[in-house]
Structure 1
Amino acid sequence: MPGLYTIPVFHVRVRGIYTHTVPVDAYRGAGRPEAAYVIERLVDAAAREAGMAPEDLRRLNFIPPSAMPYQTCSGRLYDSGEFDGHMTRALEVADKAGFAAREAQAKARGKLRGFGFASYIEACGGGSPEPAYLRLEGDGTISLRIGTQSSGQGHKTAYAHLAAAHLKVPMEQIVVHQGDTDATKTGGGTGGSRSIPVGGAAVAGAARRLAQNLRELGAEALEADVGDIELEAGGVEVAGTDRRLSLAELAVHPAATPELLNAQDAFAPPEATYPNGTHACEVEIDPDTGAVELVSYVIVDDFGAVITPALLEGQVHGGVAQGIGQALLERTVYDAEGQLLTASFMDYALPRAEDLPPIHFETRNVPCATNPLGVKGAGEAGAIGSCPAVMNAVVDALWRTYRIAQMDMPATPAAVYAAIEAAQAG
């Protein structure tokens, strides 16, 4: 709950309310979007009331890098983070300094312009241990078995990349088997952005073990010292010579034993990972209709070491799209009798490609200290920083002309138009 700020104490009161509405279950971020939303909306409101720039109030209260590792008042241990640096970079890329000129241009066109941003931190990538199993097969491929299961995130690619890098083979030579309970004894599964911080660390550990096994097997097969054996281009070779065996040849060598052809490792995270960053966006509002247009969007994130940049950016873009949907479109509506009126996608609004702005994404990577890869979970971050960033921009636009200081999600055209009408009525 303290977020990225040096808050020494906090008090929380929770009320559970039983309703007859549809059940609530885990959604991308699972609690962290709600926390970031409340914190970052409050920080903006406090800055407005104090007559300060929102970035200045944040700078006064950010946990500095020199305080890392930092124990929060809620018991979390942040291992790393450069929160001010991420925010400063995001505001620079978003050209906050040039906003006044863009606002004036929008005003000349009869539009309201707003600039908003939000800084976030989340806890993810922890949980139970995750084992990984590697085996050199008779055809020279390497099978990788792990208990996580991807549903579009690209884990197969990331796992293959990690294993191939340690074993010096093409990625196509790694055959990944996910979530097969017949082949994998245990596994913590996919969730909480843990697959790469936890599963990836296990894959890398198993790959290092298998690499050592293959060097030992190669030394025996090629009658050389283990220290002279190198893994290279899908095989083993004696350094400085042309003596070489492919992995397919090595797999069927008489010296190949099950102990040498197999390797496994497991990683038990000592603490969660804490990805963080800043989202900044600009909106234009048509005061005659209440329609909100997202003009630009900037993300500066810290995910520690990055394994597969393209997959990472895709994950963040997807999360941002979901957060924008929450901020501007999505809501459940019931009639007076409790009948759900938005029960299908015919009635429940989701963002389409035309609703999304150009997205600038970059990372400022501070390696994580709690796993051997230095990575931080990335699957949910896009949905965490986006809601408060968009809503802070909407409120900024409304405040500048109408002194509207509060607006709840979703900022639909009807809701924005009603707020403007109420403000004009005094």
Structure 2
Amino acid sequence: MIGRSIRRVEDRRFLTGRATYVGDVHLPGMLYAAFLRSPVPHGRITLLDTAAASRFQGVVAVLTAADIASRVRPIPLIRRPPTAHEALPAPPVLADGIVRYQGEPIALVVATSPALALDAVEAIQLEFETLPAVGSLNEARGATSPLVHPSLETNIAFSRRLQQGDVEAAFAKAAVRVRQEMRNNRVVPNPLEPRGMVAAYDPARQTLTCWLSTQRPHHTRWFLAEILGLPEQDIRVIMPDVGGAFGAKEPMYPDEVAVAYASMVLGAPVKWIETRSEHFLATTHGRDQLADLEIAADRDGRILGLRGEVWLNLGAYLYPNTSGVVLARTLPLLNGCYAIPAVDVTGYGVFTNTVPTGPYRGAGRPEGIYFIERLIDMVATKLEMDPVEIRRRNFVPRGAFPFTTVTGLTYDSGDYHVMLDRALELADYEGLRAAQREAREQGRLLGIGIAAYVELGGATPSTAAAMEGSSPLWESATMTADPSGGVTVRVGTAGHGQGHETAFAQIAASVLELPIESFRVEFGDTATAPFGFGTFGTRSMTIGGSAVYIAGQRLLDRAKRIAAILLECTPEDVDYCQGTFTVRGSPMRRVGFQDVCAAAYYSAAVHQQGESPGLTVQVTYDPPNYTYAAGVHLAVVEIDPSTGEVHLRRYIAVDDCGRAINPMIVEGQVHGGVAQGIGQALFEHAAYTPQAYFTSPSLLDYALPRASALPTIETALYEFPSPSNPLGVKGIGEGGAIAAPPTISNAVLDALRPFGVVHLDMPHTAEQLCQAIACMQTGREGGTGE
């Protein structure tokens, strides 16, 4: 069953409109919430008058910071970076006196209908004293820049340094040095379903039930208990079907806390569904890193060392459990797929008056791979070397795995050379280069881009957590066989579109050798699912899937002991094949899986032999190391020199995800990730003015790729099993989003090579490219873009 391309069992309800999202949850006596959000990026509230809003017919409550101050605790900062400022401020549930970004929640209106709540928000009188704001990393780093949090006396929240090897000696003997400032552009995660919540407090039982579009149900329950002062066992979090998340539904948001508190105060269910416009201003943004890096190489193109700085825009607050992690992933991944002997890189987390940032599909890994892959191409250009050849010379050698990088990671398995060769074969690389030469003779701008990536997945083993100063993120699974032979698998992960119901069932079916129809997979309800840390960081199959695999083995072992009682033999003499237990050497003595399950519940003989009633096992799994999926992607683009428009002609993705549970799901994950990476490379940019006003707050101003902009994505899959878990899986959910931006960017810059353009920051819009071409054609200074 593992390794088969089975259609996703959950898709029927999605495709027929029968899925249940937060918006579909309706309870008797439901009230509806809407937020007043700050229209300015930084200001002191001088007037907040809610009287008119409170008089609206149908308005039940209007809450401000003053109304919740005595009952709601600050949002706790967990996974605090080791070098973080001691007095880092927590994001307030509702702004108290000062607003620090456009979109920050100030007041909550609860009414009998969504329309009434929105109308009442408009009636709140709000006045500000405008304060100086800082809208970009360049400005925030300045010694005289406005301070987002004056109590810190700096905008730098924390720093991290990776230093290993003799960097000074490496650069001293280098034949080639390339230094480049590069920006990994800010983007807005845009799942089909924005965030939403229904909170229902029961005053009689003093319990709180929350339906929430989230990636981490158990974590959310803990946060709510800490902030609202409720016993954790009195809170139930239910994650219904989720219409995508991409990391943006991982944090605990202030507005979600406010909705839960409103339900407690009113003793009634309260519903809030984020609008798309709110989403742009209220949900974390992604990426937004600035790197100033220098790389050294010898005359043969072998990399000798890397040094420099990376700056992460945190936005106005360090979100409790997410944004500090991003830089911790970027810095070690600057090593890429290469055997780099020396590195000295410092990263900084910096506050600005912008929407807080957090994980977005890849969470720090796309940024690190983008920076190193752009530098590798620049070295190749300077040495007049083919970008394929320079990668061959610097890849981690075949047979060197497990390989410990200079940045402290231990790559588990793989063969980067064979994946590069496969990508070149699929592309007919030599033929492409010949076609490119012909195109250039005709004045056409054809570009070929290559990028290699490695992805740290399986967050977070206890051994790594101890070194990183964070908590271990193990996973758990329970497996129960009912008396009729059906099996229910419950996991602590929280799938939101990845196909977990199918993949986990395949794992269990492979171990128990039963039809996949025999299994039901459940997750997302803290009242029934075992404790788990949720779905993010390419961890569900690597850790959660391993827990399911081990649970299946243990359930089968227990079933064999019961079968041995029924067959009057020892467990060691019991064989099992496709739902039937037999006695070794006497195959006619047999009993079916269903009969064994029934006996586990109903047989006095079984219970008298010391077997406890029922057939349930629970497993926790903590991996010894991260996993490291990898791949090589190749793109072919053509730029219209008259308009600057990029036409994506081909895209080839060769990936190693370890053991593939379901190759069809794997391919779908690659397609989705590549599409999002193409969006970042060519279209998407969350732009701010220097004064921190957001200039792309809707889909009118923020471009997303249409299906017509995407080529047929050609894929090839390698399976180099990981030794870090019993399944050998590495994960694939983020690989496409990691690889596509540098692949596309390298192709665009390759197309512009005749003009001498060295680097342009993403996104490579038609406007940007038209200006770059015109600049170089007229002989003006240029070539490095914002």
- Unpaired runs of at least 5, structure 1: none
Q: How does 1:407-418 map to 2 (within 5 A)?
A: 407-418=760-771
CA distance in structure 2 between the partners assigned to 1:277 and 1:171 by the alignment? 31
Please, what TM-score do these two structures have when normalized by structure 1? 0.94
Offset of residue 45 of structure 1: 0.3
Q: State the partner residue of 1:264.
A: 618
C-alpha contact (below 8 Å) 2:504/2:545 kept by paired residues: yes
Q: State the partner residue of 1:289.
A: 643
Q: Alignment partner of 2:510: what SS?
A: helix
Offset of residue 243 of structure 1: 4.7
Offset of residue 62 of structure 1: 1.4
Q: Alignment partner of 2:687: what SS?
A: coil
Offset of residue 261 of structure 1: 1.1
Q: 1:336 to 1:273 in 2, by over 3 A?
A: closer
Question: Residue 423 of structure 2 aligns to which amino acid in structure 1?
Answer: A
Q: Which moved more, 1:181-190 or 1:402-411?
A: 181-190
Offset of residue 311 of structure 1: 0.7
Offset of residue 19 of structure 1: 1.7
Offset of residue 17 of structure 1: 3.1
Residue 157 in 1 paired to residue 475 in 2?
no
Residue 53 in 1 paired to residue 386 in 2?
yes
C-alpha contact (below 8 Å) 1:29/1:380 kept by paired residues: yes
Offset of residue 13 of structure 1: 2.5
Offset of residue 67 of structure 1: 2.2
Residue 91 in 1 paired to residue 424 in 2?
yes
Residue 140 in 1 paired to residue 485 in 2?
yes
Offset of residue 344 of structure 1: 1.6
CA distance in structure 1 between the partners assigned to 2:673 and 2:621 by the alignment? 27
- The partner residue of 2:535 within 166, 179, 190 is 190
Offset of residue 106 of structure 1: 4.1
Offset of residue 226 of structure 1: 3.0
Q: State the partner residue of 2:367.
A: 34
CA distance in structure 2 between the partners assigned to 1:150 and 1:109 by the alignment? 50
C-alpha contact (below 8 Å) 1:301/1:362 kept by paired residues: yes
CA distance in structure 2 between the partners assigned to 1:355 and 1:275 by the alignment? 27
Percent identical? 43
Question: Residue 204 of structure 1 aligns to which amino acid in structure 2?
Answer: Y
Larger % of helix: which?
A: 1
Cα deviation digits, residues 252-306 of structure 1 (max 9, x gap)? 2202654661222222111100111111010011000000011001111111111
Question: Residue 382 of structure 1 aligns to which amino acid in structure 2?
Answer: G
Residue 249 in 1 paired to residue 595 in 2?
yes
Q: State the partner residue of 2:561.
A: 216
CA distance in structure 2 between the partners assigned to 1:172 and 1:8 by the alignment? 52
CA distance in structure 1 between the partners assigned to 2:552 and 2:508 by the alignment? 5
Q: State the partner residue of 1:356.
A: 710
C-alpha contact (below 8 Å) 1:163/1:204 kept by paired residues: yes
Q: State the partner residue of 2:755.
A: 402
The structure with the larger Rg is: 2
Q: 1:306 to 1:395 in 2, by over 3 A?
A: same
Q: 1:186 to 1:97 in 2, by over 3 A?
A: same
- The partner residue of 2:450 within 108, 113, 117 is 117
CA distance in structure 2 between the partners assigned to 1:379 and 1:37 by the alignment? 17
Q: Alignment partner of 1:67: what SS?
A: coil
CA distance in structure 1 between the partners assigned to 2:485 and 2:575 by the alignment? 16
Q: 1:15 to 1:211 in 2, by over 3 A?
A: closer
Pairwise CA RMSD: 1.9
Q: State the partner residue of 1:300.
A: 654
Q: Which moved more, 1:228-237 or 1:184-193?
A: 228-237
Residue 324 in 1 paired to residue 669 in 2?
no
Question: Residue 280 of structure 1 aligns to which amino acid in structure 2?
Answer: L
CA distance in structure 1 between the partners assigned to 2:545 and 2:351 by the alignment? 40
Question: Residue 20 of structure 1 aligns to which amino acid in structure 2?
Answer: N
Question: Residue 396 of structure 1 aligns to which amino acid in structure 2?
Answer: D
Q: 1:241 to 1:18 in 2, by over 3 A?
A: closer
Residue 10 in 1 paired to residue 343 in 2?
yes
Q: State the partner residue of 2:81.
A: none
Please, what TM-score do these two structures have when normalized by structure 2? 0.52
Larger % of strand: which?
A: 2
Q: State the partner residue of 1:71.
A: 404
Question: Residue 142 of structure 1 aligns to which amino acid in structure 2?
Answer: V
Offset of residue 372 of structure 1: 1.2
CA distance in structure 2 between the partners assigned to 1:225 and 1:19 by the alignment? 68
CA distance in structure 2 between the partners assigned to 1:367 and 1:249 by the alignment? 36
